[in-house]
Chains A and B, each alone.
Chain A
Amino acid sequence: MQHINSGDTAWMLVATALVMFMTPGLALFYGGMVRSKNVLGTIMHSFIMLGVGTIVWVLYGYSLAFGPDKFHLIGDLSWIGLRDVGMAPNANYAATIPHILFMAFQMMFAVITPALITGAFAERIKFSSFLVFMVAWMTLVYSPIAHWVWGVGGWIRNLGALDFAGGTVVHINAAFAALAAVLIIGKRKGFMKEAMHPHNLPMTILGAAMLWFGWFGFNAGSALTSGGLAAVAFVVTHIATAAAALGWILIEKIKTGKPTTLGAASGAVAGLVAITPAAGFVGPIAAIAIGFTAGIVCYLAVGLKFKFGYDDALDVVGVHGVGGIIGALLTGVFASTVINPAGANGLVHGNPALLGKQLIAVAVTIGYTFVASFIILKVIDAIMGLRVSEEDEITGLDLSQHSEIGYALGGFGGGTLEHGASGSVFQPETSSEPSYAMQTNPLNERL
């Protein structure tokens, strides 16, 4: 067995848990931005990916993405069901931590990436179709692209493009799948006519804060070791995020007169996205430039959906797509071998060729994910329909897809128990004693 470094392993265990925490963070970030009738449906889209993404990854996703290379395009199935993925390190990926820990770290990325897409089709997708899409997308889009960029033998990795923590694989990839989804599923009923305000901004801001926190694992963990590189990635992640939050509220103040909390939260996320590919390659001042640029440009980008009439409900394209492209290209501008000798110099350090490689990586990712996602969604739409019925959309996803409501604050009219959990039919009591329904229905307790 190769030597396992306990410091590296301890850090990567923590980093993996931090990245896991981003997905519920995303659930709250998105959940607060929809109307209250869709809060649970929206949270569920992210939360259940911890289930779907994990199982797909363990069964075959990890093997497709990181398994032994086939034609520089895909991994083979020799690690199916995590066969041969054990405690011994895999020197190709992370020589000082158990291979199974590297797999778990990557698993959290495979969970959150599809969850990012869900902001685009929020408030109108059918849950069953959503699940089918996610399995197909992880298989046919995420795993191949992860292999190209990160897998040993992957052709983008061989090209020499830099992507420290997943600007292309995670953010650009999710965003252009989101764009395909928006085009196929169509607008929410009433889009650009009626108000579709965020129903719970404190929830959204809490979610953004959880994303910020978890992102330290995402970016600094991508060093795959505990040391100077992880520390640099950690610090520049924080700096870019701070600059982006400020950039967004600054342009907002200039454009509309008031800095908003949703703007600060959105700016922070845009900054996190943009610094992701650059985190292990740039210094603090470059991080400010990347974050500030992302904050301002992403603000301008999210306004475009109204011009085009595309209902990207929660701005996946504007924040993750545009932020991801800014990050990938500015990595080609600011990357420095002083920060990371294993990286490359960018434009400002005398190497314009890197910018070209970054452009190729971005363009190919956009092209592949858009076309493949478009086809997958078209097929699912034809077979089972992507959208809920108009009636279900008006009712909201919480009741129509999950038979629940997010906020039981009314205090009356909460209903009566019909069937217990076992499925047994409830017999109403005829005596004057309080009925079982009265005792167990949380809504009735408030009477």
Chain B
Amino acid sequence: MKKIEAIIKPFKLDDVKNALSKVGVQGLTAYEVKGFGRQKGHTEVYRGAEYRVDFVPKVKLEIMVDDDLASQVVDTILNSARTGKIGDGKIFVFPAEDVIRIRTGERGKDAI
């Protein structure tokens, strides 16, 4: 099993989720996060005082998948989250030890 984490642009979340559903992903977790990278942040101004904000809002996805599906999931995220502009995000793939469904106690592939 693999754990796939992806940092994406927030407005791409629905596109990515719909694309992943089509390739057989049955669930994922999404967080609102902030981070900085190569994409520039922005300036906010309050009563003339300027603030430099480097942290950019992003959405982080966590998806557990069987090994067979991992590369397809990565490709799907690549295609559905890409705008071609800086700040499209990154995908991280990790080996995963186990998955347990709390309701039934099922483990491994069956619990995904």
B23-31, B38-46, B66-74, B95-103 - the one binding chain A: B38-46
A to B contact number (C-beta, < 8 Å): 55
Instruction: Tell me how far the C-beta of B60 lies from the nearest C-beta in chain A, rounded to whole angstroms.
Output: 14
Task: Identify which of residues 392-406 in chain A touch chain B, using a CB-to-CB cut-off of 8 Å.
Answer: 394-395, 399, 403-405
Using known A-B contacts A394-B11, A413-B34, determine if residue A404 contacts B55 with beta carbons closer than 8 Å. Answer: no
Q: How far is the CA of A410 from the CA of B43 in the complex (A)?
A: 16
Closest A residue to B53 using CB positions = A415
For A417, list chain B residues within 8 Å (CB).
Answer: 49-52
Closest B residue to A394 using CB positions = B11
For B54, list chain A residues within 8 Å (CB).
Answer: 413, 415
Task: Identify which of residues 88-138 in chain A touch chain B, using a CB-to-CB cut-off of 8 Å.
Answer: none
For B42, list chain A residues within 8 Å (CB).
Answer: 395, 399, 403
**Quick check: is A446 within 8 A (CB to CB) of the other chain?**
no
**Quick check: is A422 within 8 A (CB to CB) of the other chain?**
yes
For B45, list chain A residues within 8 Å (CB).
Answer: 403-404
Task: Identify which of residues 1-39 in chain B touch chain A, using a CB-to-CB cut-off of 8 Å.
Answer: 11, 14, 34
Tell whether, in the assembled complex, residue A421 and residue B48 are in contact, meaning their CB atoms are under 8 Å apart: yes
Q: How far is the CA of A8 from the CA of B96 in the complex (A)?
A: 79
Tell whether, in the assembled complex, residue A413 and residue B49 are in contact, meaning their CB atoms are under 8 Å apart: no
Closest A residue to B36 using CB positions = A413
Instruction: Tell me how far the C-beta of A83 lies from the nearest C-beta in chain B, rounded to whole angstroms.
Output: 37
Tell whether, in the assembled complex, residue A414 and residue B11 are in contact, meaning their CB atoms are under 8 Å apart: no
Closest B residue to A398 using CB positions = B44
**Quick check: is A418 within 8 A (CB to CB) of the other chain?**
yes
Tell whether, in the assembled complex, residue B55 and residue A418 are in contact, meaning their CB atoms are under 8 Å apart: no
Contact among B41, B49, B55 with A419 in the assembled complex (CB-CB below 8 Å): B49
Using known A-B contacts A194-B14, A394-B11, A410-B34, determine if residue A415 contacts B44 with beta carbons closer than 8 Å. Answer: yes
Tell whether, in the assembled complex, residue A418 and residue B51 are in contact, meaning their CB atoms are under 8 Å apart: yes
**Quick check: is A191 within 8 A (CB to CB) of the other chain?**
no
Closest A residue to B13 using CB positions = A194
For A404, list chain B residues within 8 Å (CB).
Answer: 44-46
Q: How far is the CA of A156 from the CA of B41 in the complex (A)?
A: 55
Q: How far is the CA of A403 from the CA of B42 in the complex (A)?
A: 8
Using known A-B contacts A414-B51, A415-B51, A416-B52, determine if residue A405 contacts B44 with beta carbons closer than 8 Å. Answer: yes
Closest B residue to A441 using CB positions = B51
**Quick check: is A341 within 8 A (CB to CB) of the other chain?**
no
For B53, list chain A residues within 8 Å (CB).
Answer: 413-415
Instruction: Tell me how far the C-beta of A138 lies from the nearest C-beta in chain B, rounded to whole angstroms.
Output: 28
Closest B residue to A195 using CB positions = B14
Q: How far is the CA of A416 from the CA of B53 in the complex (A)?
A: 7
Q: How far is the CA of A419 from the CA of B40 in the complex (A)?
A: 18
Tell whether, in the assembled complex, residue B43 and residue A418 are in contact, meaning their CB atoms are under 8 Å apart: yes
Tell whether, in the assembled complex, residue A440 and residue B49 are in contact, meaning their CB atoms are under 8 Å apart: yes
Using known A-B contacts A394-B11, A412-B55, determine if residue A419 contacts B44 with beta carbons closer than 8 Å. Answer: no
Closest A residue to B43 using CB positions = A403
Instruction: Tell me how far the C-beta of A135 lies from the nearest C-beta in chain B, rounded to whole angstroms.
Output: 25
Task: Identify which of residues 344-402 in chain A touch chain B, using a CB-to-CB cut-off of 8 Å.
Answer: 394-395, 399
For B50, list chain A residues within 8 Å (CB).
Answer: 417-419
**Quick check: is A420 within 8 A (CB to CB) of the other chain?**
yes
Q: How far is the CA of A413 from the CA of B53 in the complex (A)?
A: 7
The 7 closest A-B pairs by CB, nearest first: A413-B55, A421-B48, A415-B53, A415-B51, A419-B50, A403-B45, A413-B34
- Taking A415-B55, A417-B51, A442-B46 as known contacts, 11 extra A-B pairs with beta carbons closer than 8 A to each other, sorted by chain A number, are A195-B14, A403-B43, A412-B55, A413-B55, A415-B41, A415-B53, A416-B52, A418-B50, A420-B49, A422-B48, A423-B48
Mark B residues whose CB is within 8 Å of A: 11, 14, 34, 41-55
30 contacts between A and B (CB under 8 A): A190-B11, A194-B14, A195-B14, A394-B11, A399-B42, A399-B44, A403-B45, A404-B46, A405-B44, A412-B34, A413-B54, A414-B51, A414-B53, A415-B41, A415-B51, A415-B54, A416-B51, A416-B52, A417-B49, A417-B50, A419-B50, A420-B48, A421-B47, A421-B48, A421-B49, A422-B48, A423-B48, A440-B49, A441-B51, A443-B51
